Amino acid sequence: MADLATVFPTLSEIFTTEVPNTLTYTEELASRFGWPDYLVFSAMLLVSIAIGFYYGFVDKSGANDTTEDFLLAGKSMTTFPIAMSLIASFMSAITLLGTPSEVYQNGFVYYLIGFSYFLVMPSAAYLYLPVFWDLQVTSAYEYLEWRFHPYCRRLGSAVFILQMVMYMAIVV
């Protein structure tokens, strides 16, 4: 029977083995990110900074006097920007990169999660949102405090924080 050391290479052998005629990682990135990319990236950053400066320093109309005005936009937003905000919130870079690899590894069964949205979202829209709207609460945590006890709000927040800590440990 063969010795494991002769069958499987060691980690030092794997990481020091050179592959001929390949670029290093830095050279490959530099060859892909050219001046048009830098131009678009810089323009995006400048537009974002300009919007922030305008609404932070120039436009002092008092539109966001209270926290509720800030969180709910004074209840003046139409359906389209709200829908785009929700889509942007649900579509992370992890989703865009991880979903194709998950489907490649495990097949089409992953998309059953997507089909569950057709059941969950309408039920949430017709069962939960009217309650939140009528009570004028800005979050589920505020509802937990109002309906049950401040302890329930803290418990819900702690569970969410724990979930996010575990999630960040996976994705980082």
Among 144, 114, 105, smallest CA distance to 128 is for 144
pLDDT of residue 108: 80
Query: What tokens were used for 148?
Result: 């049950």
pLDDT of residue 169: 75
Query: What tokens were used for 134?
Result: 């009528």
Whole-angstrom CA distances from 64 to 61, 73, 81 are 8, 7, 18
Among 93, 40, 159, smallest CA distance to 48 is for 40
pLDDT of residue 101: 82
pLDDT of residue 25: 66
Residue with tokens 């999660």: 113
pLDDT of residue 113: 80
Tell me how far apart the alpha carbons of residues 135 and 68 are, in angstroms, rounded to a whole number: 13
Query: What tokens were used for 171?
Result: 């994705």
Among 72, 83, 58, smallest CA distance to 142 is for 72
pLDDT of residue 26: 67
Per-residue pLDDT of the chain (172 residues; tens, 9 = 90+): 556 666 666 666 655 555 555 666 666 666 677 788 889 999 999 998 998 888 777 766 665 677 777 777 777 778 888 888 877 877 777 778 888 888 888 888 877 887 888 888 888 889 988 888 888 888 889 999 999 999 999 999 999 999 989 888 776 6
69 CB burial (10 A radius; 0-12, 13-18, 19+): middle
